Structure 1
């Protein structure tokens, strides 16, 4: 996609198209610097998105005029967002133009970690910094942690928001195989948004907010509305790796991560249960500081829900050095 065709989400937002690990494909970065900061040198945070939607629809999406990125800016952090290949405004894999069964799942964590490394090195060079902090969501915890393990000197701190953890291998069962990509509709997303909210509880996301979000979600793929039903073509590597993790095959070794780590999750998040968080917390054996923070009335998509301000506060507190070494519940 042409970076010039990407609408700015804020008048001060800057866009960059940079080389990635595949010579023929480029990566898209969005950047919103803090208007004021007390940090010297400046502090940069890079958001690493999850399995189905890009940075514009997560850290940068404004509900009632305010986003997680705005909260980071107000705390003095320069905020970056990366779109992996096949998402948002980064280039699509050429394999996505062929039948999905012609190729194995696209955007696996090892591939995504190389994309992330390219983005981090660009950010550090652009801003003249030595390190960047990472905030990752869901599957994004895999490439973020791979990068942190391979290049610890590049990463200051890591927030693992709703990360995927390893679950024990299933006896007599192997992970299913997946094609290269799939189509994800707005209705698919809505079902994800509500599936973990207990039936007796009020909604944590309004249909009005979702309507605006879902329209922008369809905008993230210029061909989405030509499909029936309308939907976004999405690489299936991330989803396949979530399933592998739940069959005992996590894409990285948490014991190799040597940066301070915060696990932040919602009370109703079915993708990282208490026992998952316990396993991941214990597996982060080299992290000098580690926290497990559980926020009430939140699901796997808490950054888009009513409890998002609590998520923002906890993430900013940890990035600023508010190190409360909490044991998982």
Structure 2
């Protein structure tokens, strides 16, 4: 990656709920440039980690957002309420079992819509490119299905789909508003996806430590941070139970009528290749669709040794 200076800013915009603000991270080469729809991207995170955690953790000197910015894109990443720098609902400060699962997909789609409307309005655009991974793939895909006229191209990394097997993120039992996520346990799960002989070197040196710090930075509970842990809402897990493992699609991929690319890692145990294939086959209305399978990669491939295969493909697809 070249030594190009990257402009970075983080700001708050109002959600559609009074008192709720959404954190948006922006990166580009020059904030004063006028970027076209082809060069504008809005991203949304998955069920557990914020956009800053997933998309702006530097790996060997540059994050996913850095690579896109260096390629000439105006890149935005939104945190759904309850994640990252967005408003933290009061339920996160109360006992988990005192409230229903926090952060349902319907709310996330509304928050993403607020972010998209903001970018389109302030940049004077009619369309933009959209990207999401895992649960964020559901959010981005639902937005594209409902707002196709505003979406130029859609990028998805391991989007959720129907499953007749347990989903690893759901450990079972009663669901309260939130759960505790431990970064050391997260690393063990991450590495367990790969064959034992291939685990060394999968995560570049320093990448996990940077990712952990980025994931923990917004946790307000100091004792949790000291345990390398943070709170994450259980709404996405409730939706897994209500939709994905219940055989009830949350939306129909056939309603997506924009060009799309699906990226997937061969060692992904969170969204298996069978699920990704079935989703891809259901997206029958897209005028141009591509599948990119990354060898020796897991669900977290954007932070792994083979990440550039996915990043380069996404850059070319959006361009």
TM-score by shorter chain over 0.5? yes
Alignment partner, residue 150 of structure 1: 146
- SS of alignment partner, residue 200 of structure 1: helix
- Cα 1:316–1:252 shift into 2, 3 Å: same
Equivalent in 160, 163, 169 of residue 156 of structure 2: 160
Aligned to 1:263: 262
- Is the 1:261–1:287 contact (alpha carbons within 8 Å) kept by the matching residues of 2? yes
Quick check: 1:24 aligned with 2:19? yes
Q: Secondary structure at the match of 2:83?
A: coil
**What are the Cα deviations for residues 17-40 of structure 1, in whole angstroms up to 9, with x where unaligned?**
111122121111111123498965
Distance 1:305 1:196 in 2: 12
TM-score by length of 2: 0.89
d(CA) in 2 for partners of 1:228, 1:42:
43
Distance 1:268 1:63, change over 3 A: same
Q: 1:207 and 1:193, CA in 2 relative to 1: closer, same or farther beyond 3 A?
A: farther
Residue 296 of structure 1 pairs with residue 275 of structure 2: no
* Partner of residue 221, structure 1: 219
Shift of 1:196: 0.3
1:33-57 CA distance string (max 9 Å, x none)? 2349896566210111001111111
How many residues get paired?
307
Would you say 1:60 and 2:59 are equivalent positions?
Answer: no
The alpha-carbon distance between structure 1 residues 41 and 106, as it changes in their structure 2 partners (threshold 3 A), is: closer
TM-score (norm 1): 0.86
Contact 2:224 / 2:230 at 8 angstroms: preserved in 1?
A: no
Cα distance in structure 2, aligned partners of 1:132 and 1:41: 5
Distance 1:199 1:169, change over 3 A: closer
**1:123 match: secondary structure:** helix
For 1:191, the equivalent position in structure 2 comes to 188
Distance between the aligned counterparts of 2:125 and 2:225, measured in 1?
44
Unaligned stretches of 5+ in structure 1?
1-9, 321-329
Secondary structure of residue in 2 paired with 1:194: helix
Deviates more, 1:195-204 or 1:247-256: 247-256
Over aligned residues, Cα RMSD in angstroms? Answer: 2.3
Task: Write out the 4+ residue segments of structure 1 that deviate beyond 6 Å after TM superposition.
Answer: 36-39
1:226-241 mapped onto 2 (5 Å cutoff): 226=224, 229-241=227-239
Query: In the alignment, is the contact (CA less than 8 A) between 1:27 and 1:83 conserved in 2?
Result: yes
Partner deviation per Cα, 1:41-76 (whole Å, 9 max, x = no partner): 662101110011111112211112111112211222
Determine if contact 1:277/1:292 at 8 Å carries over to the other structure. Answer: no
Unaligned ranges ≥5, structure 2: 167-171
- CA deviations 1:191-234 (Å, max 9, x no partner) are 23212011121431146321232123221213244566341111
